[in-house]
Amino acid sequence: MTTFSARRIVLKIGSSSLNHSRGGLDEEAIAEVVDVIAALKQSGIECILVTSGAVAAGMGELRLHTRPRDLAGKQAVAAVGQGVLIEKYAQNLERHGLVGAQILLSRIDLAEASRYHNAQNTLEKLLRLQVVPIINENDTVAIEELCFGDNDSLSALVAGLVHADLLVILTDVDGLYTANPKKDSSAQLIEEVADISAVEMMAGGAGSILGTGGMLTKLRAAKIATRFGIGMLLLNFTRIGELVELNEGQGARGTYFHPVKHRLAGRKRWIAYAGLSEGSIQIDDGAVKALVKEGKSLLAKGIKSTEGTWERKEIVRILNLVGDEVARGVIELSRHEVELVKGLHSEKMQELIPDSSGEEVVHRDNMTLMMDSV
């Protein structure tokens, strides 16, 4: 059991918690979420809600029994359901004299630095106005390749965006278990996680026809949030009431993921998790060591091959020889230029590309490591 002293919390509710057993939205669940938000606000804690449920609500309206699998089907059902979902939240907030605001985000909204900051400013303004931001993915217009896909990663990015001090993901199990508890009755609950890489192999997929991603996407969210310096609590939705006592020295029983000690700063966060990358470069073992162990920039000498397309100053993924992601960074050269200079010494590179900004192909300051050790 872990205790907290949070002032700003992002709460994420999954489809599994909002879906009624008879189909459609579970209105009691929505009322419960709102009661908890109202109580938290009463004790001075700001809340930002990331809520799934548009597809579940749309299925209820259209009397569908199975979740659509194709993109157009999912988008159409979400378009029907999102309005219903937000209306239910608004009605319940009104009972407490509170106002909510609907924010539908697409991957692309966080991928461009200017749009990222714009979303950040709007959310800050809403919080200052005492409004409860209610966020979901903009399912109706998202293009498949540019989808968050699950709201777990979205909630972690939102937690970073608003500088929250706790992310709470509510789901239909008590937390992370040593194996999927719905399939393995001997699975044990893990109450605290300090190193996500040590538990990664325990995560399985979604637990119901409505859930997306299961534990895999929750661990991805935990990785993002904790690298941002934000702790993440994974909690059973049935225990949502325990959140109200969090700051009174009481803990909530679930899985708590501890934030890392050296958190990523603003731009490095954006490079690693919000910006989009169109290409990748593969580097040799010496270059991996220079980046990961010695904290150096990437030079042309260590580059073996390239893939994808990009222009100068775009984000690329930097991979080792077996394809694991070592880092991400803003690259100084286009793909065509990197192809010209890969494997060459820096003097030769500068000779071939005289207007390059320096000897670095990816400067250390513009790079985020995605791997802790080699």
Ligand X SMILES: N[C@@H](CCC(=O)OP(=O)(O)O)C(=O)O
Ligand Y SMILES: Nc1ncnc2c1ncn2[C@@H]1O[C@H](COP(=O)(O)OP(=O)(O)O)[C@@H](O)[C@H]1O
Residues that bind ligand X (CB under 6 A): 14-16, 52-56, 78, 136-137, 139, 150-152, 211-213
- Binding partner of 136, given ligand X, ligand Y, none, CB within 5-8 angstroms per partner class: ligand X
Which residues, numbered 305-334, are part of the site for ligand Y (CB under 6 A)? none
Token output for 100: 């909510």
Question: Per-residue contact track with ligand Y, 10 to 29, x per CB under 6 A?
Answer: ----xxxx------------
- Binding partner of 255, given ligand X, ligand Y, none, CB within 5-8 angstroms per partner class: none
Task: For ligand Y, give the closer residue by CB, 105 or 303.
Answer: 105
Q: Least distance in Å: CB of 369 to ligand X?
A: 28
**Could you give phi then psi for residue 2, rounded to 5 degrees?**
-120, 145
Q: Least distance in Å: CB of 21 to ligand Y?
A: 14
Token output for 261: 């000690």
d(CA 135, CA 81): 14
Write the CA distances from 325 to 25, 55, 98, 335, 361, integer angstroms: 39, 33, 44, 18, 17
d(CA 293, CA 285): 11
Which residues, numbered 41-60, are part of the site for ligand Y (CB under 6 A)? none
- Of 177, 228, 257, 310, the residue at the interface with ligand Y (CB under 6 A) is 177
- Binding partner of 208, given ligand X, ligand Y, none, CB within 5-8 angstroms per partner class: ligand Y
Query: Does residue 208 belong to the site contacting ligand Y (CB under 6 A)?
Result: yes
Query: Does residue 172 belong to the site contacting ligand Y (CB under 6 A)?
Result: yes
Q: Least distance in Å: CB of 177 to ligand X?
A: 17
d(CA 251, CA 231): 14
Give the list of residues 6+ apart from residue 80 with CB closer than 8 angstroms, or none. 57, 58, 61, 62
- DSSP annotation of 273 reads I
Query: Does residue 214 belong to the site contacting ligand Y (CB under 6 A)?
Result: yes
Rounded to 10 degrees, the C-alpha dihedral 39/44/45/49 comes to: 60
Residue in the block written with tokens 């859930």: 211
Q: By the criterion CB under 6 A, which residues form the site for ligand Y? A: 14-17, 171-173, 176-177, 179-182, 202-204, 206-208, 211-215
* Binding site per annotation, positions for ATP: 12, 171-172, 212-218
